[in-house]
Amino acid sequence: MHRLFFAACFLLTAPSMLCQSAESACSNTMAQSEMNRCADLDARTADTDLNHVYQELLAKLKGDDNATKKLRAAQQAWIAFRDAHLQELYPAKDKQAEYGSIFPMCYSRVRPR
Measure the CA dihedral 20/107/78/2, to 10°. Answer: -10
Q: For residue range 9-24, what is the model confidence (pLDDT) as tens digits?
A: 455 455 444 444 445 5
In this prediction, residue 41 carries a pLDDT of 93
Per the prediction, the chain carries an average pLDDT of: 82
Q: For residue range 37-85, what is the model confidence (pLDDT) as tens digits?
A: 999 999 999 999 999 999 999 999 999 999 999 999 999 999 999 999 9
In this prediction, residue 110 carries a pLDDT of 87
In this prediction, residue 69 carries a pLDDT of 97
In this prediction, residue 2 carries a pLDDT of 54
